[in-house]
């Protein structure tokens, strides 16, 4: 690890000289290239500052270890041991900051997020499980001080959801929820099962960063819109006006329906919000597929066809298959206590990126 950090330092020092020369050659300070170069320069300088401190503390640790080896006085031995422990804790924090600066944060991580949950195999039980997942994410969002707004729903008579789409707003919302994309599997006795047999059902979750209008431009002649009457769960709250909307994006074939609002304009705005996110996701998937072809290897993506997690009710057990993590606190997780799972998934992503960096500079 130390050798990688040192190698990255050498590369960054070389790049810093080149960036400074480029900055000095630009006269238009509002130029986007100039702004991006400044950001990169600041990032490199911050890395070099941390690395300088990292080296200093490492030297202090080595000096303290040498003194500890030759020291005979028990009190001084204890002093040096405590010093080594304190310095080791400091260097661990600095090393963490260095890796964060190397790996960086994608532009999407700080965006709001659109989450779509659909009932999969299992009929009514799958719809009830989808409703459980929505409740879990809502509670987790509340804990994280995020705001949740429902964009579209399709309920069943028993209170399940065939589909629910919602927006989660807040700093680093996408960074927090992006790991949830994929197929979620539940094992439990359905309320509709008279014999008490355990059934397996699924729900799929799609997590998309919210895109602004300027980021994904949708032209009027690229969409077809159809309005229809909306009804609530179980035929309740039927709206006699045609305020629900179905939007089809002609170039991609993506179709989005919104019927939750009583205003056609509001439903249209929500539908376009979802549509922009789906168009951007389609483009990202194309780019990722090209990268995978170039690397000649398959990278785990959190694709909706990939089974990522199992919720086993009889054993109060939840297993995340991507990181082989099993916890015996299913009830707590369903109450929105997802922090431990998210933290482990974030660690996995960092380790994967570190391996990529190793291969790049080796």
Name the residue ranges covered by the structural domains of the chain: 2-104, 113-352
* DSSP letters spanning 220-244: GGGEEEEEE----GGG-S---S--E
> Residues of the chain with pLDDT > 70: what percent?
89
**Distance linking the first and last C-alpha atoms of the chain:** 12
The DSSP call for residue 248 is E
Task: For strands 182-188 and 307-312, give the pairing.
Answer: parallel
Question: Residue 51 — very low, low, confident or very high, per pLDDT cuts 50/70/90?
Answer: very high
Contacts of 54 (CB under 8 A, 6+ apart): 5, 91, 94, 95, 98
Task: Give the mean pLDDT of 195-221.
Answer: 85
pLDDT at 288: 65
Q: What is the reported pLDDT for 133?
A: 97
Instruction: Identify the pLDDT of residue 13.
Output: 86
Looking at the predicted structure, is the pLDDT value of residue 41 above 60? yes
Quick one: pLDDT at residue 116? 93
The two three-digit tokens of residue 239, written as one number: 């709206």
Distance CA 311, CA 137 (A): 15
The string of pLDDT tens digits covering residues 135-146 is 999 999 999 999
What is the pLDDT, as a whole number, of residue 296? Answer: 42
Residue 308 near residue 183 (C-beta atoms within 8 A): yes
Q: Which of 35-39, 147-151, 240-244, 252-256 has the highest mean pLDDT?
A: 147-151
For residues 295 and 311, the model is more confident at 311
Q: Is the pLDDT of residue 223 over 70?
A: yes
Region 5-21 average pLDDT: 86
pTM: 0.68
Q: In the structure, what pLDDT confidence band is assigned to residue 292 with cuts at 50, 70 and 90?
A: low
Minimum mean pLDDT range among 86-95, 180-189, 299-308, 341-350: 299-308
Half-sphere CA count of 27, side-chain side, radius 13 A? 0
Lowest mean pLDDT among 34-38, 149-153, 180-184, 231-235: 231-235
d(CA 318, CA 329): 7
Quote the CA–CA distance of 126 and 191 in Å, as a whole number.
11
What does the pLDDT read at residue 290?
63
Q: Average per-residue pLDDT in the chain?
A: 84
Q: Which of 120-129, 219-228, 241-250, 353-362 has the lowest mean pLDDT?
A: 353-362
Residue 221 has pLDDT above 70, yes or no: yes
The Cβ-side half-sphere exposure at 234, using a 13 Å CA radius, reads: 4
Q: Is the pLDDT of residue 362 over 70?
A: no
pLDDT of amino acid 334: 96
Please name which of 103, 310, 54, 279 lies closest in space to residue 202, comparing C-alpha atoms: 310
CA distances from 197 to 96, 191, 291, 309 (A): 48, 10, 45, 21
On the question of pLDDT at 300 being above 50, the answer is no
User: What CATH code would you report for 113-352?
Assistant: 3.30.70.1660
Instruction: Tell me: pLDDT of 196 over 90.
Output: no
Lowest mean pLDDT among 20-34, 197-211, 227-241, 318-332: 227-241
Residue 360's pLDDT band (cuts 50, 70, 90) = low
pLDDT digits 0-9 by tens, 67-79: 999 989 999 999 9
């Amino acid at each position: 690890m130390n050798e990688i950090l040192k190698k990255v330092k050498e590369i960054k020092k070389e790049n810093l000289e080149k960036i400074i020369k480029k900055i000095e050659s630009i006269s238009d300070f509002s130029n986007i290239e100039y702004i991006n170069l400044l950001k990169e320069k600041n990032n490199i300088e911050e890395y070099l500052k941390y690395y300088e401190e990292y080296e200093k503390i490492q030297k202090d640790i080595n000096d303290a270890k040498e003194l500890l080896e030759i020291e005979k006085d028990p009190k001084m031995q204890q002093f040096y041991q405590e010093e080594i422990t304190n310095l080791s804790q400091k260097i661990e924090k600095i090393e963490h900051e260095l890796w964060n600066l190397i790996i960086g944060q994608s532009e999407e991580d700080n965006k709001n997020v659109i989450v779509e949950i659909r009932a999969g195999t299992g009929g009514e039980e799958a719809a009830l499980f989808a409703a459980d997942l929505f409740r879990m994410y809502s509670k987790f969002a509340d804990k994280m001080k995020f705001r949740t707004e429902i964009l579209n729903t399709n309920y069943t008579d028993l209170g399940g959801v065939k589909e629910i789409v919602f927006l989660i707003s807040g700093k680093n919302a996408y960074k927090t929820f992006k790991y949830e994309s994929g197929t979620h599997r539940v094992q439990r006795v359905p309320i509709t099962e008279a014999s008490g047999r355990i059934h397996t059902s699924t729900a799929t979750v799609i997590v998309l960063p919210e895109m602004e209008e300027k980021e994904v431009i949708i032209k009027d002649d690229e969409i077809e819109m159809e309005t229809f009457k909306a009804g609530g769960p179980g035929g309740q709250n039927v709206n006699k006006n045609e305020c629900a909307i179905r939007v089809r994006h002609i170039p991609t074939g993506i179709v989005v329906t919104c019927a939750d609002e009583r205003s056609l304009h509001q439903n249209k705005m929500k539908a376009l919000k979802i549509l922009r996110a789906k168009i951007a996701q389609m483009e990202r998937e194309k780019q990722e597929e090209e990268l995978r072809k170039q690397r000649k290897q398959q990278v785990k993506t959190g694709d909706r066809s990939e089974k990522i997690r199992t919720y086993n009710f009889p054993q109060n057990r939840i297993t995340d298959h991507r990181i082989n993590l099993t916890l015996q606190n299913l009830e707590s997780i369903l109450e929105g206590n997802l922090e431990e799972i998210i933290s482990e998934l974030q660690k996995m992503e960092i380790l994967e990126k570190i391996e990529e960096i190793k291969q790049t500079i080796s």
